Structure formats: C-alpha cells, structure tokens
C-alpha cells in the first residue's frame, strides 16, 4: 500500500495548531505532538493570574479541536531529541516517530537571565500552572496582610513588585491595581486593600519598549492613573523571599516585598537547544534558531521552524517579534509550502509577515493600540483589544464564556475565579504540593 507523506508538527500552540488546521483534507498524514493535551491562549493568561478567568476558559483540548480532521492524529509526548538525517523525532519517554516534513513550533520559555534561583520567589507567566501560582501568591498576600502582627509585616505583604514593563508586566500591574482598589475593596476588616503598593520595575527608559514612543508615554500615564508606581532604568540584582534588591544608577537599593512577579524576557527551551545542536544551526542571544526566508533550517529543507523558536527576518532584515500573529502566519505558511511541494509546484515565495497591529491592555477600558500606524489609546483601544482577543480564542464555547464573563466583570468589577488553590497556607508557591495540583479548572 502506498504510504502518504507524513507531516509531523511539534507543539500545539499558535504556530503548530494553525499549521495543523491548514492540512484539513490534504492528502497527507499529520501527527501533532504536544507535551500538554491542550492549546493555551497565552495572551489571556494574566486574566487567570488575576482571578478574572479560569484556566479552562483560555484552553482548548487539542484532541477536541482536531477531532473532525481525519488525517490528523494528536499525541501527548515531549520531544526530547531529533535525528535530522534519518528524519526521526525522539520523545522524552523513548518513543520514536519518523517524518517526511517537520514543523517545529515548540515556543519559548521564561528567561531569568541566568538567575534561575529567582524563579522560586518571582513566578513568571508562561504556563497555566504559573498563572494559578501567581493567582495564589496575590490572593495569599492580602490574606497574610490581614493577619500581620506589625505594620512592617503588613506593608511587606501589601507591596507587589512586577519586574519588566513589557505588555505582560503592564497588564499584570493594571489588573493588580484594580484588584486592590476595586475588587477587594470591601472584603477585609483589618487592612485596606487600597493601601497596596504596586511597583513596576523596568530596565529600559520607557514602558512598552516595542511600541511607538507616544503610545508608551500614554500607557505609562494610564497605568500610573491606576495607582501603579513606575520605576525605570533599574536593574534587579537579587530576588528572595523578602523582596528585591536593585540598582538605580550606581546606588543599590532594597525593597521589602513579599510578592514579586517576573515579566522579563524569553529564551529557547530544551528541545530548541537540541534542534540547534543537531542541525548545527545558528542561534541568537536568546537561543532562537535562524531560519531561511522560507522558514526552513539551513541545510534541512524538510524542517520548518515557526513562532517564538524561529529567528526570521523581515524584508528590512529586522527580526520578527515573538507574538501570536507571527506564529499563526508562520504555521499557515509552512503548511502551504508543504502542500505546494507535494503538488510539484515550485518553491513558494519567502515568508512575509503581515503585521495587523500591536495591542496592550492596561486595565478596564484602558489600552493602547498601534494599528497600521493609527495610534489609539483608552477606551477605543480597549474595544479593539476585546474584539481581537475574542476573535482568536480557539473554541466557540470559550469565546461565549469569556465574553459573558468580561461583560459581567465590566459592570461589577468582580473577579469570579478568586480562589486560592493547590496549597492554602504557604508563602512559596513552589511547594511540591502547590505545583502538583494547580490547574484545577477553578
Ligand atoms: C503571558 C503572555 C501574554 C502574551 N500576550 C500576547 C499578546 O497579547 N499578543 C500576542 O501577539 N502575543 C502574546 N504573547 C506571545 C504569544 O503567546 C507567543 O508569541 C506565541 O504563543 C508563540 O507561539 P508558538 O506557537 O511559537 O508557541 P506556543 O504558543 O508557546 O506553543 C508552544 C507549544 O509547544 C508545546 N511544547 C513545548 N515544548 C515541547 C516539546 N519539547 N515537545 C512537545 N511539545 C512542546 C507547548 O506545550 C505549547 O503547546 C504572550 C505570551 C505570554 C506568555
């Protein structure tokens, strides 16, 4: 029996899932492998971290999404190694899977810039477990402040530091400010949640460094209006259980804060490193693999890399940003190229990223947007943000749930998913118990 062309896709995030969907009815056999059994809508993860949405509302089971696509099988497994010469992927549990074409979309992981020990005290927002761990940390801090026996202790529990003022840091800071000033306003008897200090620390000279200067200034104004203190041009040198040490100019300063959240950069993950090693590929400082204009790895025309793991350049030679649209369009392009090759068509045009705009949300009715050079801020930008995020949530049912939830919250300032789960009374969210049971769907 004639075997069909085998397409393997590693990762069911924005890049991988969108590639898989493009193979619907194509005469190929697709295998999508992910270490998680769900697609995660990362742009709404801060809503889980701040108790607005539940994990289930921003995730969709990969099997469910692809259940009607008969030429596609979904496997749960972690890619650990690759033999690019014999065209095989080796999973962490030893399973080996052959491919004819491979699309790698395994994304990135948080970078603590070589200070991995900080992770214990300053969780980042990259997985659903981390989002629920952050939710735990924030809510737990208010509980501890209520029971504090001294003013100093209470201040430390009510001081929240967010390191990194990119889109994620701004979103977290804005949401935290709203939790303190609105959501929890009437919930405590001893403390006043409005006394919480929220400090956003940024190494650069402006917030939202990837946005145009005027929008970055507007975003800073919006976040300050919510009560967030913005500290720029500082370098964090230590994070521990009791706070942050940082350098401002030549001066070293210490801030007592029981809750520190990390919104720094990203770096490649273990499989990305292995792939670069096995293919002798060039990488940049954060480990992204340099790809050809058609998103393939140098010397391996059958291996495509899309999304956060790829270092692809635009027409002017600038690296494309690590955002969802680059991954989505890259995944679609790789699928189209493979299908065209099978039809014997000449090589497709180089990948062209169509930038639909940049958006960042700061709080209720407060956002900034740069859409085809049109700069919006405040309510109009927030409405665009709302619309775009609803559009791209994968499952229709989730879209409806999220819409209803947002509408309700907009009117009431409530946050329905305000549960401390995992382990109820510990200072570190990295207790084994907390990490084992965080994604409970609440
Ligand atoms: C908190 C947060 C907010 C964001 N907000 C925005 C936003 O508002 N707008 C925007 O455009 N972008 C945003 N981004 C960035 C955007 O989410 C990423 O650029 C996008 O997810 C990259 O897509 P990807 O397919 O490369 O990787 P991902 O979507 O991260 O998917 C990678 C997939 O690979 C799987 N995987 C990883 N390693 C392995 C392995 N070894 N074996 C098998 N499977 C593996 C993972 O489980 C995952 O499903 C945000 C990111 C974060 C973390």
In the chain, pLDDT over 90 holds for what percent of residues? 81
Q: Atom of ligand 1 at shortest distance to CA of 15? A: 25
Q: Atom of ligand 1 at shortest distance to CA of 14? A: 25
285 and 243: one domain?
no
Residue 351 counted as domain residue = no
Q: Is the CB of 31 under 6 A from ligand 1?
A: no
What is the whole-number distance in angstroms between the Cα of residue 433 and the centre of ligand 1? 26
Residue 131 counted as domain residue = yes
Query: Are the beta carbons of 439 and 55 closer than 8 angstroms?
Result: yes
Q: Which two tokens stand for residue 51?
A: 């108790």
Best of 20, 22, 106 for a ligand 1 pocket test (most atoms within 8 Å of beta carbon): 106
Give the burial string for 67-98 (b: 16+ CB within 10 Å, else e).
eebebbebeebbbbbbebeebebbbeeeeebe
β-pair partners for 91: 79
How large is the average pLDDT for residues 5-26?
97
173 and 279: one domain?
no
Q: Kind and range of the H or E element at 225?
A: helix 213-225
Strand order in the sheet with 234-240: 234-240, 243-248, 251-256
Res 412 pLDDT > 60: yes
Residue nearest to atom 20 of ligand 1 (CA): 324
Give residue 161's pLDDT.
Answer: 98
221 and 333: one domain?
no
180 and 196: one domain?
yes
In the chain, pLDDT over 70 holds for what percent of residues? 94
**pLDDT-based confidence at 433, cuts 50/70/90?**
very low
Give residue 354's pLDDT.
Answer: 95
152 and 288: one domain?
no
pLDDT tens for 342-396 read: 999 877 799 999 999 999 999 888 999 999 999 999 999 999 998 888 888 877 6
Residue 441 counted as domain residue = no
Give residue 424's pLDDT.
Answer: 52
How large is the average pLDDT for residues 228-248?
97
Beta-strand (E) ranges in 144-268?
159-163, 197-201, 228-231, 234-240, 243-248, 251-256, 259-262, 266-267
How large is the average pLDDT for residues 329-350?
92
CATH number (domain holding residue 245): 3.50.50.100
Q: Which two tokens stand for residue 371?
A: 């859409």
Q: Which of 309, 326, 342 represents a domain boundary (last residue)?
A: 342
Give residue 1's pLDDT.
Answer: 58
What is the whole-number distance in angstroms between the Cα of residue 134 and the centre of ligand 1? 18
- Distance CA(2)–CA(75), nearest Å, equals 23
82 and 195: one domain?
no
Residue 51 counted as domain residue = no
127 and 187: one domain?
yes
Q: Kind and range of the H or E element at 172?
A: helix 167-178
Active-site option among 57, 129, 130, 171: 171
Residue 128 counted as domain residue = yes
Residue 139's domain comprises 116-264
**pLDDT-based confidence at 427, cuts 50/70/90?**
low
Residue 237 counted as domain residue = yes
CATH number (domain holding residue 293): 3.50.50.60
Give residue 72's pLDDT.
Answer: 98
More confident residue, 416 or 65: 65
Q: Is 171 a catalytic residue?
A: yes
| Average pLDDT, rounded, for the chain | 91
Of the chain, the end-to-end C-alpha distance in Å amounts to 49
Burial of 414 (0-12, 13-18, 19+ CB in 10 A): middle
Res 441 pLDDT > 60: no
pLDDT tens for 248-306 read: 999 999 999 999 999 998 999 999 999 999 999 999 999 999 999 999 999 999 999 99
How large is the average pLDDT for residues 89-111?
97
Res 426 pLDDT > 70: no
Q: Atom of ligand 1 at shortest distance to CA of 266? A: 53
DSSP 342-410: HTTPPPPPPP------EEEEEETTEEEEEETTEEEESHHHHHHHHHHHHHH-S-HHHHHHHHHHHHHHH
Q: Is the CB of 264 under 6 A from ligand 1?
A: no
Number of domains in the chain: 2
Q: Is the CB of 307 under 6 A from ligand 1?
A: yes
pLDDT tens for 158-213 read: 999 999 999 999 999 999 999 999 889 899 999 999 999 999 999 999 999 999 99
Q: Kind and range of the H or E element at 31?
A: strand 28-34
What is the whole-number distance in angstroms between the Cα of residue 308 and the centre of ligand 1? 7
Q: Which of 323, 342, 361 represents a domain boundary (last residue)?
A: 342
What is the whole-number distance in angstroms between the Cα of residue 1 and the centre of ligand 1? 38
Burial of 303 (0-12, 13-18, 19+ CB in 10 A): buried
Residue 433 counted as domain residue = no
Q: Which of 264, 288, 305 represents a domain boundary (last residue)?
A: 264
257 and 167: one domain?
yes
């Amino acid at each position: 029996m004639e075997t069909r062309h085998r397409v393997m896709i590693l990762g069911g995030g924005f890049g991988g899932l969108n590639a898989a969907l493009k193979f619907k009815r194509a005469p190929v056999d697709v295998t999508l492998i992910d270490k998680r059994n769900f697609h995660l809508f990362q742009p709404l993860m801060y809503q889980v971290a701040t108790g607005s949405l539940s994990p289930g509302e921003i995730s969709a089971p990969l099997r469910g999404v692809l259940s009607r696509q008969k030429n596609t099988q979904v496997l749960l497994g972690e890619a650990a190694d690759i033999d690019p010469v014999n065209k095989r992927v080796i999973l962490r549990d030893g399973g080996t899977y052959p491919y004819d074409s491979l699309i790698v979309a395994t994304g990135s992981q948080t970078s603590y810039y070589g200070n991995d020990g900080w992770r214990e005290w300053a969780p980042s927002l990259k997985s659903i477990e981390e989002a629920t761990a952050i939710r735990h940390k924030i809510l737990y801090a208010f509980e501890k402040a209520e029971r504090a026996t001294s003013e100093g202790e209470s201040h430390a529990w009510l001081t929240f530091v967010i390191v990194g003022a990119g889109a994620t840091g701004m979103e977290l800071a804005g949401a935290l400010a709203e939790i303190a000033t609105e959501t929890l306003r009437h919930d405590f008897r001893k403390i006043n949640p409005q006394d919480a200090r929220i400090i956003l620390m940024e190494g650069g000279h402006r917030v939202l460094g990837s946005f145009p200067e005027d929008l970055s200034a507007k975003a800073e104004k919006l976040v300050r209006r919510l009560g967030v203190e913005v500290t720029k041009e500082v370098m964090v040198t230590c994070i521990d259980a009791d706070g942050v040490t940082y350098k401002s100019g030549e001066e070293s300063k210490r801030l007592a804060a029981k809750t520190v959240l990390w919104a720094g950069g990203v770096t490649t993950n273990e499989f990305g490193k292995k792939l670069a090693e096995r293919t002798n590929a060039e990488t940049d400082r954060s480990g992204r693999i340099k790809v050809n204009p058609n998103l393939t790895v140098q010397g391996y025309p059958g291996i495509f890399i899309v999304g956060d793991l790829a270092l692809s350049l635009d027409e002017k030679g600038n690296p494309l940003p690590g955002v969802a649209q680059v991954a989505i369009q890259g995944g679609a392009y790789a699928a189209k190229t493979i299908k065209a090759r099978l039809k014997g068509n000449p090589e497709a045009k180089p990948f062209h990223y169509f930038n639909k705009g940049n958006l960042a949300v700061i709080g209720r009715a407060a956002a900034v947007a740069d859409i085809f050079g049109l700069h919006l801020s405040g309510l109009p930008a927030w409405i665009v943000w709302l619309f775009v995020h609803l559009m791209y949530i994968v499952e229709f049912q989730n879209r409806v749930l999220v819409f209803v939830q947002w509408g309700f919250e907009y009117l009431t300032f409530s946050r329905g998913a305000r549960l401390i789960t995992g382990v109820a009374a510990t200072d570190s969210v990295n207790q084994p118990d907390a990490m084992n049971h965080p994604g409970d769907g609440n």
